[in-house]
């Protein structure tokens, strides 16, 4: 991935990554430095999850599968290339997949990439599920 930088390899590995200004609840404009840094943190984290799956042994969770990492990276690259803000949070789901969470006011959208390369979106409004549907690869 072109977004990865060599210095990221020397950073400590974290089991999740917060990519946006969660505390303020405000998403950065498309060309804001915070947005660029959020995407960089996301791509670096996914690279590290794939490069060292043993890091999850102490957490007693299933690390993201190579298929899930690949599909999640392609999805994230598409969002990045089309000017979308980075997810608020990205994390392994503990079952071999990766979850992306997008928060906007009272709405939360959870995109889950499963280890078998399938994906779904779950939308919440005021913490209640209002929509759940598969995402078709295309």
pLDDT tens across 5-21, in order? 323 333 333 444 454 43
Question: Is 123 within the bounds of a domain?
Answer: yes
The pTM (predicted TM-score) of the whole model is 0.73
The helix-helix angle for 66-81 and 33-51 (nearest 10°) equals 170
Question: Is 47 within the bounds of a domain?
Answer: yes
Question: Is 7 within the bounds of a domain?
Answer: no
Question: Is 31 within the bounds of a domain?
Answer: yes
Q: Identify the domain containing residue 29 by its residue range.
A: 16-135
Question: Is 4 within the bounds of a domain?
Answer: no
What is the distance between the terminal CA atoms of the chain, rounded to a whole angstrom? 20
Place of tokens 């990554």: 17
Higher pLDDT pick, 3 / 109: 109
Question: Is 1 within the bounds of a domain?
Answer: no
**Overall number of domains in the chain:** 1
């Amino acid at each position: 991935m072109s977004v990865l930088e060599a210095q990221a390899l020397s950073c400590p590995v974290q089991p999740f990554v917060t990519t946006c200004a969660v505390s303020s609840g405000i998403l950065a404009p498309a060309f804001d430095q915070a947005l660029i840094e959020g995407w960089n943190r996301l791509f670096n984290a996914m690279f590290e999850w794939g490069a060292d799956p043993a890091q999850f042994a102490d957490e007693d969770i299933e690390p993201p599968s190579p298929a899930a990492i690949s599909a999640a990276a392609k999805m994230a690259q598409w969002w990045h290339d089309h000017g979308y803000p980075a997810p608020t949070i990205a994390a392994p789901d503990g079952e071999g997949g990766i979850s992306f969470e997008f928060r906007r006011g009272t709405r939360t959208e959870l995109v889950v990439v499963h280890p078998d390369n399938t994906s779904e979106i779950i939308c919440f409004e005021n913490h209640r599920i209002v929509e759940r549907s598969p995402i078709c690869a295309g």
